[in-house]
Structure 1
Amino acid sequence: MRFKSQRANAQLPEVNLIPMLNVMMAVLAFFVMISMTLTAQEGVNVQLPGPSEAEVPEQQTTPDPLIVELDEQGQIAIAQIPLSPEQLNPQIQAYLQANPQGSVFLVANPELAYEQVVQVLSQMRQAGGDRVSLAIE
């Protein structure tokens, strides 16, 4: 008579990890909460200045920029007064000497060729340096 092997009917044991992970997370949460309550909270007392103690810097007003207009015929004008290219640089230099914080803007007609705009802008930069820029509407 032969005995049947118990191995054939036996199932492999399973390890159920979910309850073990639940317990581990509860223990971890407990230790985190305890460590947070046991640490001493340190702070520094700071007295912030009130509005009367603060220094208010004086307002620096920037002068109005000098607007150089370039129309569709390539004519240069400042404040609606036509100028020749030779008269432009002395006007810019005089403005920048009178207004050290001032800036000069070139407002060109959109229909004008870009080459003409670049020529006038480079001429203006010779007089005003980095305070000359092209304004776009």
Structure 2
Amino acid sequence: MRFKQRPQQAALPEINLIPMLNVMMGILAFFVMVTMMLTTQQGVEVQLPGAPDAATPPPTDTPDPLVVTLTLQGIALEDQPVTNAQLTQAMQRYLETYRTGIVVLQADPNVPYEQVVQQLGVMKDIGGNRVSLAIDE
């Protein structure tokens, strides 16, 4: 007794795309390089205007910061003891005079943190985001 043999299907050929793409990219890169070497770049001669003071940088209008010192004895403005009212007037004058100036609170490490935060809050009410707290790193 013989069994029927099934006809064998022909194996489908496989095409590896990766090596073919590598070759195609190499050929494309070759033609791009050759084309760039064969073309000449043409330019237009232009006379650019020069700045008379190009060598000197523009002056910066950033003033020195106004330093307020907070110690256990009280508030000092540029090493001179002041009251809160005097500090308010001095800060307002400084911030109106110098539009880009900042006010820096420098607190003594022995001053309680609560007092530093309160003074910083008072100063922020006057100067807004132009008031900073100085720290030692």
Alignment TM-score, normalising by the size of structure 2: 0.63
Percent identity, aligned pairs only? 34
SS in 1 for 2:67: strand
Contact map agreement 1:74 1:116 (CA 8 A) in 2? no
What corresponds to 2:60 in structure 1? 60
Q: Which runs of 5+ in 1 are unaligned?
A: 1-20
* Deviation of 1:30 (Å): 6.0
Amino acid across the alignment from 1:31: I
Q: Which runs of 5+ in 2 are unaligned?
A: 1-17
Counterparts of 1:37-116 in structure 2, within 5 Å, are 37-38=34-35, 45=44, 47=46, 49=48, 53-54=50-51, 56=54, 58-71=58-71, 73=72, 75-116=74-115
What corresponds to 2:14 in structure 1? none
Structure 1 runs of 4+ with >3 Å offset: 21-26, 38-50, 54-58
SS in 2 for 1:136: coil
More moved, 29-38 vs 113-122:
29-38
Greater gyration radius: 1
C-alpha RMSD of matched pairs (Å): 4.0
Alignment TM-score, normalising by the size of structure 1: 0.63
**Deviations, residues 45-68 of structure 1 (Å, cap 9, x unaligned):** 575847xx0374731322211100
CA distance in 1, matches of 2:115, 2:108: 11
SS in 2 for 1:106: strand
